[in-house]
Amino acid sequence: MELIYKIKEIWKSLEKKGLPSYVWTSAPLSLWRERIIFIIIALIIVFGFVLLVPTMIIGYIGGKWLSAGLFMIAWLSAVFILYHRSLPIAYRTWILYFVFYLFGIAFLHFFGLNSAGHIWFFRASIIVGAILGMRAAIVALSFNFILLLLITVIIITDSSSGVSQDANDLKLWLVVMINFMISNSIITFVIVLLLDGVDKLLFKSQETVNILRESERKLKSFFEASPDPMVVYNVDGYPQYFNSAFVKVFGWTMEELAGKRIPFVPKDQHKICKQQIDRLFSTGNPVELETRRITKYGKIIDVLIKAAVLVDSEDKPIGTIVNLADITGSKKLEKQLRQARKMEAIGTLAGGVAHDFNNILQIINGYADITIMGKDKDGPDYSNLQIILDATDRAAKLVRQLLLFSRKVETETKILNPNREVKQAANILSRTIPKMITIRTHLSEDLWNIQADPVQIEQVLLNLGSNAADAMPSGGELILKTTNVRVSKEGIHDLIGITLGDYVLLTVSDTGYGMEKEVVGHIFEPFFTTKDVGKGAGLGLSSAYGIVKKHRGYITCRSKPGKGTIFKIYLPAHKAKEWVVEEMDDTTTLIGGTETVLIIDDEASIRGFSSKALGHFGYTVIDCSSGEDALDIYSKQCADVDLILLDIGMPGMGGYKCFKELLKINPAAIIMITTSYLKDEKVQKALEAGAASYLGKPYKLSFLLKSVRNTLDGKEQLKN
């Protein structure tokens, strides 16, 4: 076996040297035709040389130089073909044909007509037909016929002196030649037709191979073009191919996983994945499921898997093709969307509750205000009523937080420098939180301005600072920091939904207990709190969230148990200069009047309070419970009414429509707008349409009197 192996290796080496270089990339039949020529020439050169030496000796002794010369020319022609193997195959084939003829003629001349010389002619036609095809075979057979006919003529004319022979039997010669000619033609045609069929079959096979290669190329390009990881498995679950997206997402290469299963299924997903694979093979229908996978580097990602069975020509399963779309980002966005929708729904509910609660507080606060005016400050009732007023004031602030969360408040924005609000919040916190907590501020000197409501921004900082203090019962550090940031596509990271641009970043961090990841996911929900019962309403952070969103900002929280908590608030930068509006003082003496006021409110108790309060201070009051009644009264007494106090949130025709109809009756009417929603969209529209002022519920007696007096006097309205 070793000898045979060595012989094969030697022959391969000879073929590499003896065959034209182009044949190794050509069609299979072309390679074999070149091999046939090479083998024949090699045999002629080797065995022809062995024959040439004795022929030359015998020719010298017997005087047959013609035969020796023909042998010499034939052998040199074979060497020429081998040396000039770059010549076209047709040229080399016809030269080889000439070589065979030379050998045949030489044998006939040397050994006579009864020798095997004529067989070389027949071999030549077979070789030519096999290599060059049917036309060349017919030409070669024609040459054979002409040559044999020429020899026959020579025999008939007794010109055989040039041909060595023992007997000159014309009949025997003709019989032999005719038989050889027939058999030679049959064999040549059969071989040519057979090779032509093989050639066509190989051509079709090559076409099939090319089609398969093109299909494979297209399939591979489809795989590579897919942005999602794709894997082809065999029936045993071993990967056979995966695209570059798989390498990019999961990290493994095909070489690393050769002969191995992909180790990326978490333990808790083994059961469900096996169930889906069994269902896939049992039904043959594609499957789709959301699951998780582990990357080479240990990161767990969410994936959407779509898998289908691959079958052979007999519909037997041979593997599966699986698409693994990375949906980690979309899952996170979906979670945030669900959270936003939930908070929006709760906010809508909170806004409705706050509206009704404000009306109740208005009644409690108003009648307590009226009652306390007739009480002695040293009497027991006075202190009790003051407690009620303080409680309603705290309740009003709580309702304001609900309204802020539900976005039912129109912010009173102005251009301001956040550093001022941070300093004010730090001063307030320093007086209210435990002394063992150190407050540190790091304020940027070149900080951009923002357009915001200073009261609401201060409220956000106070809420966050108060929560931080609760997380540090044994002391710690509360750090307030401001800086300018530019949010770009490269640095957006987890800020899903934020608009690219310039922002002022307010950072509130502490060194407290910190929170678990699950808790962080709920902290902005209303009424969610980690504090003990009675120590928190769960509205501080939800209100902060609502305020920040109202200012087109973004708020994030990062926390770990034992590592503290960091809140980051992004507020859009405003490059305009800061300006401040001086607010009115509410400590001046209460002043009444003698004008007539029309009160329009669907709440009887609120109308009763407002009527008593204004009547007590000298005003003439007319009240009604609906917009329809108000229009009827005002159309008859508009000349007597100096001021209209209108609840913009009434049922029926609605306060805003009533407001428009009142102006139609008297375009110069002085109308003060009130609402339990504070300054909402309807109030803003009314102010833009000609309302004189606005007073938010619940309001104190002092605010009501000052607001009415200032509106009648044409002064700037006090905002509550």
Q: Does 620 lie in the same domain as 554? A: no
Q: Does 663 lie in the same domain as 544? A: no
**Residue for token pair 């409220």:** 459
Q: Does 126 lie in the same domain as 37? A: yes
Q: Which domain-ending residue is among 381, 405, 429? A: 405
Examine residue 489 and state whether it is found in any structural domain, yes or no: yes
φ, ψ at 589 (rounded to 5°): -65, 140
The DSSP bridge partners found for residue 111 are none
Q: Which of 33-37, 58-62, 239-243, 376-380 has the lowest mean pLDDT?
A: 58-62
Q: What is the mean pLDDT of residues 608-617?
A: 87
Structure tokens at 45: 């050169």
Percent helix, strand and coil across the chain, each to the nearest 5: 55, 15, 30
Examine residue 5 and state whether it is found in any structural domain, yes or no: no
Q: Does 185 lie in the same domain as 239? A: no
CA distances from 24 to 20, 29, 204 (A): 8, 11, 19
292 three-state secondary structure? strand
Q: Does 46 lie in the same domain as 31? A: yes
For the segment 379-418, what is each residue's pLDDT rounded down to a tens digit?
777 777 777 877 777 677 666 656 655 554 555 678 888 9
Q: Does 545 lie in the same domain as 627? A: no
pLDDT at residue 163, as a whole number: 44
Examine residue 8 and state whether it is found in any structural domain, yes or no: no
CA distances from 233 to 238, 279, 319, 453, 503 (A): 5, 16, 5, 61, 50
Q: Does 474 lie in the same domain as 354? A: no
Q: What is the DSSP string of 140-209?
A: HHHHHHHHHHHHHHHHHTT-GGGS--S---HHHHHHHHHHHHHHHHHHHHHHHHHHHHHHHHHHHHHHHH
CA atoms within 13 A on the CB side of 287: 20
Examine residue 305 and state whether it is found in any structural domain, yes or no: yes
Examine residue 18 and state whether it is found in any structural domain, yes or no: yes
Examine residue 466 and state whether it is found in any structural domain, yes or no: yes
Cα angle value 708/709/710 (rounded, 5°): 95
What's the domain count of the chain? 5
For the segment 644-697, what is each residue's pLDDT rounded down to a tens digit?
999 887 888 888 899 999 999 999 899 998 887 656 667 778 888 888 888 887
pLDDT at residue 510, as a whole number: 92
Q: Does 553 lie in the same domain as 447? A: yes
pLDDT averaged over the chain? 78
Q: Does 252 lie in the same domain as 341? A: no
pLDDT at residue 315, as a whole number: 83
**Residue for token pair 């833009």:** 688
Examine residue 213 and state whether it is found in any structural domain, yes or no: no
Q: Does 188 lie in the same domain as 156? A: yes
For the segment 532-589, what is each residue's pLDDT rounded down to a tens digit?
433 444 566 777 888 888 888 888 888 888 888 999 999 999 866 544 443 444 444 6
Examine residue 212 and state whether it is found in any structural domain, yes or no: no
Are 521 and 381 in contact, with CB atoms under 8 Å apart? no
Range of the domain at 236: 227-326
Q: Which domain-ending residue is among 291, 326, 361? A: 326
CATH of the domain at 360: 1.10.287
Q: Does 543 lie in the same domain as 484? A: yes
Q: Does 610 lie in the same domain as 566? A: no
pLDDT at residue 166, as a whole number: 42
Q: Which domain-ending residue is among 379, 405, 431? A: 405
Q: What is the mean pLDDT of residues 612-624?
A: 90
pTM of the complete model: 0.42
